Amino acid sequence: MTLRLKDYEPVVGADVLQELYVLADRVKGRRLQNINSTSVGGGVAEILTRLIPLLRDLGVDATWDVIKGDQAFFNVTKAFHNALHGKREEITEQMFDIFRETTEMNLRGMALNGDVTLIHDPQPAGLVLRRKDAGGRWIWRCHIDVSAPDPRVWEFLWPYVEQYDAAIFSMPDFAQQLSVPQYMVAPSIDPLSDKNKELAPEFIEAVLEKYGLNPERPILTQISRFDRLKDPLGVMEAYRMVKKRHDCQLVLAGGGAPDDPEGEEVLREVRERAASDADIHILDLPPFSDLEINALVRGSTIVLQKSIKEGFGLTVSEALWKRKPVIGGAVGGIKLQIINGVTGFLVHSPEGAAKRLAQLLSDPAFRQRLGDNGYLHVKQNFLITRHVKDYMLVMLALDYPDEDIIHLG
Ligand code: UDP
């Protein structure tokens, strides 16, 4: 099915689309080459899958390429990812060599020909070495929380970042000391995707039943890659505390991403910790389980995203859009989406999460209010149409590159 912008009119209104058509007239025909490190799994792939066709519908020649890398490279970049998030990781000279070699290998095999080249995250950041030959404008789009990075990794990455024309971060907290302009663009969800569209109640029930969940009893859910920074064990701890007083079931659903080699180990830990509790449902979902994930969230009573670090956390907006109250870690982009006490609760510990779970489990009307607020908050700020607008604005802003920090949100 071809994605058409006009299909979004019933959701966002004609005025929003009109604005996009006006902007598109000024960037039409420009080639926007996106490059990242995986075509499935994780938020960046999720966004690009939907954003590229919409930009194309507007006449922007948007394309998407994925760099190649072996297991050793993705072990390195996952360690960089963790370290940039401030986690302690052993970083060696050999890791920097692997990064450089894989960058060189990709440079040999890749056609770089964007009027604007948009490089997503650290994995492909080194491609900028080719910018002189390739021409055009180059932007580094950072999706992760780099507010307190491990200095060794940031100092390694920084000389690459400085070679771009601009950097984009998801929120002002992540801005860096850079000599290039920085733009703030929050990520987004697509209200019409299988992950987010309305579903028939019978389908939702069938999915709950398939996974052994009882729709008559409260369901607490976290959808995430099995990643320590998503804190699945902390979620389980909170569930166990709340379970002493409130009947509930827990769903921890996730899958892997080819550029995340830690998933299996974390999944094993999570399974071990769940032991034989029949009310804990650990679901290892294959890629493209979007309709089932949608149904699991819609069938849930409360959604969690108890991350310890988070660039944005699309799963939060995905749940708020479905009018679910969300309890999230008070970190990174989750703070943009959860307005404490208005669209959900921000927490700092399993105890905090358990306290808010208990409060929400005993107050259905409050849950509903938070969910309704969440829906509106996402509608105003985190839908894909706003994201399309921001990317077009950044393309235009590059024609006038002397501003320092512009907030486009
Ligand atoms: N997701 C998925 N299957 C899974 C786990 C996650 O499709 O098994 C999706 C999730 O719904 C969201 C994205 O992957 O759309 C994850 O993005 P987020 O920003 O929450 O986290 P990231 O994985 O990028 O750190």
Amino acid occupying residue 23: L
Position 402 pLDDT exceeds 70 = no
With a 6 Å cutoff on the Cβ, whether 225 touches ligand 1 is yes
| Cβ 352 vs Cβ 305: under 8 Å | no
CA-nearest residue, atom 23 of ligand 1: 42
Mutate to test the pocket of ligand 1, among 46, 264, 281 (most ligand atoms within 8 A of CB): 46
With a 6 Å cutoff on the Cβ, whether 285 touches ligand 1 is yes
Ligand 1 center from residue 171 Cα (angstroms): 19
Rounded to whole angstroms, what are the CA distances from 347 to 109, 304, 357, 369?
Answer: 45, 10, 11, 19
Neighbours of 408 (CB within 10 A): 16
Instruction: List the Cα angle 359/362/368 in 5-degree steps.
Output: 85
Radius of gyration of the chain (CA): 21
pLDDT digits (tens, 9 = 90+) for 200-220: 999 999 999 999 999 999 999
pLDDT on residue 3: 86
Position 272 pLDDT exceeds 60 = yes
The pTM score is 0.94
Torsion, CA 374, CA 376, CA 379, CA 382, rounded to 10:
-40
Higher-confidence residue: 288 or 78? 78
Ligand 1 center from residue 43 Cα (angstroms): 5
d(CA 381, CA 321): 11
pLDDT digits (tens, 9 = 90+) for 151-166: 999 999 999 999 999 9
Which pairing describes strands 344-347 and 116-120: parallel, antiparallel, or unpaired?
unpaired
- What does the chain come to in residues? 409
- Band (pLDDT 50/70/90 cuts) for residue 256 is confident
Backbone angles phi, psi at 176, to 5 degrees: -125, 165
- Band (pLDDT 50/70/90 cuts) for residue 261 is confident
Position 403 pLDDT exceeds 60 = no
- Band (pLDDT 50/70/90 cuts) for residue 288 is confident
pLDDT above 70: percentage of residues in the chain: 98
